[in-house]
Amino acid sequence: MSEPMLVIRDLHGYYGKSHVLHGVNLEIGQGEIVSLLGRNGVGRSTTAKAVMGMVAARGSIRFKGQELLGRKPHDIARLGVGYVPENRDIFPDLTVKQNLMLGMKSARQKGRWSMDDMYALFPRLKERENTPGGVLSGGEQQMLTLCRTLMGDPDLIMIDEPTEGLAPKIVELVGSFLKEVEKRGISILLVEQKLAIALDISERLYVMGHGHIVFEGTPADLKDNEAVRKEWLEV
């Protein structure tokens, strides 16, 4: 069997002198949806940022057989890693269409996704094509940032808490969107707080506590393991 899409081994991450990740191990296969769960502040976002080359880290992160540590974020993106940050980070003064255009890595790029695909998935974005991103609702902004990253044609997409602060109906929409993305062979790392959506769409899950992985398994495994949920997830 060939190497999985993403292999993280013994990853340590730092913000200046503070040591946040203590040896994270994690794998994501081709076309797999994997969730990374855990309480506030355990280091889930930091893990995603480390893959993106945005925090100081040591250990190993291999993506499609290539080492990512030491590379610049734009380089990592160009290798095929997409990142949707937790604060969504849309460009508020640019229009919806311009935001999507910025997702493309070059003007001529022909990827799996076109602007029309995005509008077909989320007709609401088409309606608001010429509206500045800043005036969209939270749900619309989340769709925009997901689509913007897809426009870059990634093979792996890391999504940090996409459902935070969204109404249940929108959460459902995000879930079916992720399923749609997976169907095209794209791997997904979903950083989540909400157990329900993670159990619903993931093939495998990791639970994180204090900077390392404390559980790994299928949704069924996690449902059966009350001890892990009690100790590491429920508040």
215 counts as binding other proteins under rule CB under 8 A: no
Q: Is 43 in the site for ligand ATP (CB under 6 A)?
A: yes
Q: Which residue is listed with tokens 């990853």?
A: 11
Nearest residue to 27 via CA among 47, 45, 13? 47
User: Could you say which of ligand ATP, Mg ion, other proteins, none residue 91 binds, taking C-beta under 5 to 8 angstroms by partner kind?
Assistant: other proteins
**Out of 2, 18, 106, 130, the residue judged to bind ligand ATP by CB under 6 A:** 18
Write down the least CB distance from residue 134 to other proteins, Å.
Answer: 11
C-alpha span between 25 and 45 (Å, rounded): 15
Contact 209, 42 (CB under 8 A): yes
What is the DSSP secondary-structure string of 18-78?
EEEEEEEEEEE-TT-EEEEEE-TTSSHHHHHHHHTT-SEEEEEEEETTEE-TT--HHHHHH
Nearest-5° angle of CA 29, CA 193, CA 102? 65
Q: Which stretch binds other proteins (CB under 8 A): 98-106, 192-200, 204-212, 213-221?
A: 98-106
Q: Which is nearer to other proteins, 89 or 226 (CB)?
A: 89
Comparison of 18 and 106: residue with beta carbon closer to ligand ATP:
18
At closest approach, how far in Å is the CB of 85 from Mg ion? 9
Residue closer to other proteins by CB (options 11, 90) is 90
Asked if 165 interacts with ligand ATP (CB under 6 A), we say: no
Q: Does 116 help bind other proteins (rule: CB under 8 A)?
A: no
User: Residue 15 touches which of other proteins, Mg ion, ligand ATP, none (CB < 5 to 8 A by kind)?
Assistant: ligand ATP
Of 235, 234, 233, 221, nearest to 38 (Cα)?
233
Counting Cα atoms < 13 Å in the Cβ hemisphere of 223 gives 9
Residue 13's binding partner, choosing from other proteins, Mg ion, ligand ATP, none, with beta-carbon cut-off 5 to 8 A by kind? none
Q: Which segment (37-45, 58-66, 70-78, 220-228) binds ligand ATP by CB under 6 A?
A: 37-45
Q: Is 46 among the residues that bind ligand ATP (CB under 6 A)? A: yes
Distance CA 196, CA 235 (A): 15
Partner whose binding site includes residue 196, from Mg ion, ligand ATP, other proteins, none (CB under 5 to 8 Å by kind): none
User: Can you list the alpha helix ranges (DSSP code H) found in the chain?
Assistant: 44-51, 73-79, 96-103, 115-121, 123-127, 138-150, 168-183, 195-201, 219-224, 226-228
Tokens of 52: 């993106």
Interface positions with ligand ATP (CB under 6 A)? 15, 18, 20, 38, 40-46, 86
Interface positions with other proteins (CB under 8 A)? 52, 54, 72-74, 77-78, 83, 85, 89, 91, 93-94, 98, 101-103, 105, 107, 148-149, 152
